[in-house]
Amino acid sequence: MGLTGMVKNPRWIVYSLIFIALLFIPRILSIHDLMLFEYGITFAIVGLGFNLLLGYTGLLSFGHGAYFATGAYTVAMIAKYLPQAYSLEILIPAALFFSMVLSIIFGFVCVRHTKIFFSILALSLSMLLFALLFKLYHITGGSDGLRVPLPTLFGMSFKGIRRPEFLSGTYYYFLLGMFSVSFLVMKGIVNSPFGKALQAIRDNEVRAELIGIRVRRYRLYSFIISGMFVGLGGALWTFVNGHVTADLSHWVFSGEIVYMTLLGGFGIFEGPIVGAIIFTYLKLYAMGNTQYWMFVIGGTLIVLVLLLPNGIAGAFAGLWTKIKKGVEET
Amino acid sequence: MLTIDNLKKHFGSVKAVDHVNLEIKEGEIVSIIGTNGAGKTTLVNLISGYIKPDSGRIQFLDKDITYAPPYVRIKLGVGRSFQLIQLFSNSTVLDNVRIALFSKYGMIRRGLLPADRYSSVTDEAIKILDSFSMSDKKNLTPKGLSEGDLKILDIAIAFALKSKLLLLDEPTSGVATNDKFKVMDSIVKAIKKEGISTLIIEHDMDIVSGYSDRVIVMHEGKVIAEGKPNEVMENKEVKATVFGIVS
């Protein structure tokens, strides 16, 4: 679709309107809500990456926390050991590079299998990383984790600025820019011939192989791209959180990535974005209001699976299709 | 074009393909018949690379492809359809064919521009669908197609791979009797137009005698007869083993 096609497409009009609205968010939300929203945006990037593997390639990973942790620890380790390179324009490519390296290594092992074997392998490997991050105390800070100071950006220093001010100013727009680029790149990927090949593998592995697609290789490509997006989300998340711990590579955190993708709906491109934002608020408000917050999260998942198997965005998309069909018939 | 020497595939004590020799010439339409378990589908699976043989040799266009992976065989021009239809169920009819074309042209590595931007591929996919009288259904998903159309689409995908040799595994199974000839007419018309060699596994003898240049008969993994359709039908061994007629 060319630029003119995009302008005429209602979907792209909605995207553009949402983007314009997002530019004004720091003026509308309180700093607390803005931080929450920023957590949501970083998880939205994670969801976009995770869904390339789940929704478009048909592989369910319970170990994507590993790539999130890689992105996050890349930032924290550079802050600790290479402070002279602690600048966003270096940190982001570094996080992408290291999450790519880890995705290649872990992916090479995982994509040799599918279904439950793939999921368990992904989980096991992420727990291996968790053990390393947890035990190598002198390097990684172990259970205490590592503090993440404010970075510089193209020589611009934020010394003397408090984190909330940083997050509501430059960083918000940087984050929004990174999200927009991630969104456009992933949109391009899923609609490209490469994306079609992944969907072919998801729908019929045998047929895909017998039209000449090298199934295992393309699964690995999908795994690597997915890991890089999740690593990017992890790196961007550290500046909002200010601190990283080994828990990021724990399977419980990987489970949260799965949860937010299911919440929004993995059958629709925008689903994981919606899921990530809602999950961020849901978890915080559940945690703030009851000690049984896990009950709320678990209960929501049960309701979701039983009543909205296509997720929240999927349900809305289904409703929209029905309304459109109804209007056309009348 | 295709030469098979002494090909063998056993599954435990079952001799699925047992020292089979056969040859297919350019532009020839050859049918394989035989009772259930005769080894017809195993033979097609071996030629397409879906399974590997125990021993023997498969040569295609003078290249040894015995142990070559499927993507190499497809590059060389070996395409196939399936007895149990294998489609991309969530993609449209057009995309089912387009994916095959993208794969054939090595374009599936392209990851940023939307598939719709490759208009030459889209045009070619529509042309292929046209040759199978299916272009009016291009925006439907396989769920919205009849059994006959599903079969044709399955074959159109193999056709899109620009195959020089097409392996069609029971192209009319599951198709209503009165649609069988319609399906076969549409397939054979497209095949003849491109001069594609074809190996058809078929049970329906009317189809076999109506569309084949040559017939190969298999029984318990072995080739027991070979020749023109009318000659083979008159063969006593074929009559006894395949049709159960003892004279």
One DSSP character per residue, B8-73 reads: EEEETTEEEEEEEEEEE-TT-EEEEE-STTSSHHHHHHHHHTSS--SEEEEEETTEE-TT--HHHH
Q: How far does A293 lie from chain B, in Å, by closest CA?
A: 37
User: Which has the higher per-residue pLDDT, A267 or A3?
Assistant: A267
- For residue B198, being part of any structural domain is answered with yes
**Which residues in chain B are closer than 8 Å to A210, comparing Cβ atoms?**
48-50, 70, 74, 80, 86
Is the distance from CB of B89 to CB of A203 less than 8 angstroms?
yes
How many alpha carbons lie under 13 Å from residue B147 in its C-beta half-sphere? 13
Strand B14-24 versus strand B2-11 pairing type: antiparallel
pLDDT at residue A180 above 90?
A: yes
Report d(CA B204, CA B33) in Å as an integer: 9
* Interchain pair B114, A200: CB under 8 A: no
Q: How far does B242 lie from chain A, in Å, by closest CA?
A: 30
Is the distance from CB of B71 to CB of A201 less than 8 angstroms?
no
Nearest CB among B82, B89, B118 relative to A193 is that of B118
Report d(CA A176, CA A188) in Å as an integer: 18
* Interchain pair A214, B111: CB under 8 A: no
Query: CA of A6: which chain B residue's CA is closest?
Result: B114
Best mutation target among B88, B116, B141 (most A Cβ atoms within 10 Å) is: B88
Could you read off the pLDDT of A37-57 as tens digits, one per residue?
999 999 999 999 999 999 999
Distances in Å between the Cα of B230 and the Cα atoms of B21, B33, B205, B215, B242 are 22, 13, 11, 9, 15
- Is residue B5 within a helix (H) or strand (E), and if so which, with residue range? strand B2-11
- For residue B172, being part of any structural domain is answered with yes
* Interchain pair A218, B108: CB under 8 A: yes
Instruction: Kindly provide the b/e burial profile for residues A32-55, where b requires at least 16 CB atoms within 10 angstroms of the residue's own CB.
Output: eebbbbbbbbbbbbbbbbbbbbbb
**Which residues in chain B are closer than 8 Å to A208, comparing Cβ atoms?**
88
In this prediction, residue A272 carries a pLDDT of: 95
* Interchain pair B108, A194: CB under 8 A: yes
The pTM of this model reads 0.90
What would the 3-class secondary structure string for B128-188 be?
Answer: HHHHCCCHHHCCCCHHHCCHHHHHHHHHHHHHHCCCCEEEEECCCCCCCHHHHHHHHHHHH
Q: What are the DSSP calls for B176-231, one per residue? A: -HHHHHHHHHHHHHHHHHHT-EEEEE---HHHHHHH-SEEEEEETTEEEEEE-HHH
Could you read off the pLDDT of A215-240 as tens digits, one per residue?
999 999 999 999 999 999 999 999 99
Length reported for chain A: 330
User: Which has the higher per-residue pLDDT, A62 or A163?
Assistant: A62
In this prediction, residue A305 carries a pLDDT of: 83
Report d(CA B3, CA B14) in Å as an integer: 24
* Interchain pair B86, A206: CB under 8 A: yes
Which residues of B sit within 8 Å Cβ distance of A?
48-50, 69-71, 74-75, 80, 82, 86-91, 95, 98-100, 102-104, 107-118, 157, 161
In this prediction, residue A7 carries a pLDDT of: 63
What is the overall mean pLDDT for chain A?
92
Is the distance from CB of B103 to CB of A213 less than 8 angstroms?
yes
* Interchain pair B71, A193: CB under 8 A: no
* Interchain pair B86, A214: CB under 8 A: no
Is the distance from CB of B103 to CB of B115 less than 8 angstroms?
no
User: Which has the higher per-residue pLDDT, A177 or B186?
Assistant: A177
Report d(CA B159, CA B191) in Å as an integer: 8
* Secondary structure class of A243 (helix, strand, coil): strand
**Which residues in chain B are closer than 8 Å to A203, comparing Cβ atoms?**
87-91
Give me the amino acid identity at B192. K
In this prediction, residue B111 carries a pLDDT of: 87
In this prediction, residue B45 carries a pLDDT of: 94
User: Which has the higher per-residue pLDDT, A186 or A158?
Assistant: A186
Give me the amino acid identity at B99. I
- For residue B227, being part of any structural domain is answered with yes
Largest CA distance in chain A: 70
- Is residue A147 within a helix (H) or strand (E), and if so which, with residue range? strand A146-147
Rounded to 5 degrees, φ, ψ at A39 are -55, -45
**Residue A24: CB partners within 8 Å, gap ≥ 6?**
none
Give me the amino acid identity at A33. D
**Which residues in chain B are closer than 8 Å to A188, comparing Cβ atoms?**
111-114
In this prediction, residue A271 carries a pLDDT of: 94
β-sheet bridge partners, residue B22: B4
Tally of structural domains, chain B: 1
Choice among A19-33, A133-147, A155-169 with the minimum mean pLDDT: A155-169
In this prediction, residue A4 carries a pLDDT of: 63
Report d(CA B209, CA A16) in Å as an integer: 62
Roughly how many angstroms between the first and final C-alpha of chain A, as a whole number?
31
* Interchain pair A203, B100: CB under 8 A: no
CATH of residue B115: 3.40.50.300
**Residue B87: CB partners within 8 Å, gap ≥ 6?**
A203, A204, A207, B96, B142, B150, B153, B154, B157
- For residue B247, being part of any structural domain is answered with no
State the ipTM, two decimals.
Answer: 0.85
pLDDT at residue A136 above 80?
A: yes
Report d(CA B231, CA B209) in Å as an integer: 10
Report d(CA B35, CA B237) in Å as an integer: 13
**Which residues in chain A are closer than 8 Å to B153, comparing Cβ atoms?**
none
- For residue B44, being part of any structural domain is answered with yes
Q: Select from B186, B178, B181, B154 the least CA-distant residue to B84.
A: B154
Edge-to-edge strands of the sheet including B78-80?
Answer: B78-80, B165-169, B197-201, B29-33, B214-219, B222-227
- For residue B51, being part of any structural domain is answered with yes
Is the distance from CB of B170 to CB of B32 less than 8 angstroms?
no
Q: Which domain holds residue B122?
A: 2-241
Best mutation target among A181, A211, A221, A269 (most B Cβ atoms within 10 Å) is: A211
Query: CA of B119: which chain A residue's CA is closest?
Result: A1
* Interchain pair B89, A203: CB under 8 A: yes
Instruction: Kindly provide the b/e burial profile for residues A94-132, where b requires at least 16 CB atoms within 10 angstroms of the residue's own CB.
Output: bbbebbbebbeebbeebbebbeeebbebbbebbbebbee
- For residue B117, being part of any structural domain is answered with yes
Two structure tokens written together for A176: 């929004």
- For residue B246, being part of any structural domain is answered with no
Q: Select from A233, A326, A228 the least CA-distant residue to A273.
A: A233
Nearest CB among A1, A195, A210 relative to B80 is that of A210
**Residue A110: CB partners within 8 Å, gap ≥ 6?**
A59, A61, A63, A118, A121, A122, A125, A223
pLDDT at residue A85 above 70?
A: yes
Report d(CA B89, CA B87) in Å as an integer: 6
* Interchain pair B91, A203: CB under 8 A: yes
How many of the other CB atoms lie within 10 Å of CB of A173? 12
Q: Which parts of chain B sit beneath pLDDT 70?
A: 246-247
* Secondary structure class of A8 (helix, strand, coil): helix
Strand B2-11 versus strand B63-64 pairing type: unpaired
* Interchain pair B115, A209: CB under 8 A: no
